[in-house]
Amino acid sequence: MAGDSHKKTFLILTVFISIIAVGLTVVAFSTDNWVKFTGSKHNDTGCDKNKSDDSCTTNGRFGLFRGDNEINYNFGPRDRKSKVICTDGWCSYYTVRIDLGETLDNTEAGTAYIKNISSIYTKAKDKGENVHDWEYGLFGFGYWVTILVMLSLGIVWGLVTISFTVFNIFGKPIETITGPLGLYLWNLLGLIFMLIGVILFAVLFQTNFAKNVLPQNDYGYHTFRTDSSLDYSFYFTVGSLVGFLLNLLLLMFSGYSVRCACTQEANKAIDNGIILY
């Protein structure tokens, strides 16, 4: 009995950790602080060289689906909003200016913008020019969707983990997959999918966002250059990843070994004189 109580204590801990892990990923999805950035003019074009302050600057943040930033062309700061729009195998943060009354509801305009930018990029690349997708604010649609799917599956397996752990605490699983093996499996799957999602986004940041998070006209024509860093929403997913790892360690230290639970139940049935013919 003492052993069972000890194991259930560890299972209760894994439930709380799983809830936190799932919650962190949900919060990461709903917040727009995956990447933050600041920037300034690459040269002095259009800026007052006599000013001691930074007269041509930009700063902002964005998440998996949207973001906001502020840009100053030496005429005062202007607030802008952006959201991810994908078409023709490419995605980009389509940006509008709030002070001009522009909204992000016009998806057709965003789609047309990305088609135009991706076409310019493709033509330049076909000509053999040394161009990169990040210079145009572009990133791959398939890669982006893979990140979202991996993180979403991490949430799914986290919910499965919570459900089956609660069942093991209050119920008597008779199938191996619903018992110890299942608890290890669901946590391992959550760990794997979260790890893939985190790594993929970190790679995307290093190859694209760390070099440029601005639309092509800001990066190219206006020659702004940015300094970007990962923000707390991203680290929430890292925390979720650590949560799944802690669950696996707790299961190991609890003495909850992987064995067939159905054998024990069958033995109990025989001891009680219940024999099926």
Per-residue pLDDT, averaged over 157-181, amounts to 80
Per-residue pLDDT, averaged over 33-48, amounts to 76
Q: What is the reported pLDDT for 174?
A: 61
Q: How far apart are CA 120 and CA 261, in angstroms?
A: 62
Q: For the chain, how many residues are written?
A: 277
Candidate ranges 17-26, 178-187, 208-217; pick with highest mean pLDDT: 17-26
Q: What is the reported pLDDT for 253?
A: 81
Domain for residue 273, yes or no? no
Domain for residue 71, yes or no? yes
Q: What is the reported pLDDT for 62?
A: 94
Q: What is the reported pLDDT for 170?
A: 79
Q: Dig out the tokens for 138 from the structure.
A: 């572009």
Per-residue pLDDT, averaged over 122-139, amounts to 91
pLDDT 10s digits, 69-81: 988 877 778 899 9
**52 has a pLDDT exceeding 80:** no
What is the value of pTM for the model shown? 0.84
Q: What is residue 258's three-state secondary structure?
A: coil
**3 has a pLDDT exceeding 60:** no
Its domain, for residue 103, covers: 2-268
Q: What is the reported pLDDT for 173?
A: 66
Q: How far apart are CA 87 and CA 148, in angstroms?
A: 16
For 45-61, b where at least 16 C-beta lie within 10 A, e where not — what string?
eebeeeeeeebbbbbbb
User: What is the pLDDT confidence band of residue 46, given thresholds at 50, 70 and 90?
Assistant: low
Average pLDDT, whole number, for the chain? Answer: 84
Higher pLDDT, 12 or 261: 12
Q: What is the reported pLDDT for 276?
A: 44
Look up tokens 């040269």; give the residue. 43
Domain for residue 116, yes or no? yes
Instruction: Tell me which residue of 134, 136, 138, 154 sits closest to 146, measured CA to CA.
Output: 154
**139 has a pLDDT exceeding 60:** yes
Higher pLDDT, 272 or 33: 33
Torsion of CA 201, 248, 27, 164, to 10 degrees: 130
Report which residue type is found at 259. Answer: R
- Of the listed ranges 20-34, 38-52, 90-104, 136-150, the one predicted with least confidence: 38-52
Q: What is the reported pLDDT for 244?
A: 96
Q: How far apart are CA 257 and CA 42, in angstroms?
A: 60
Domain count, the chain: 1
CATH assignment at residue 139: 1.20.140.150
Domain for residue 179, yes or no? yes
**274 has a pLDDT exceeding 60:** no
Q: How far is CA 204 from CA 99, 112, 140, 169, 189, in A?
A: 31, 24, 10, 41, 23
Are residues 84 and 144 in contact, defined by beta-carbon separation less than 8 angstroms?
Answer: yes
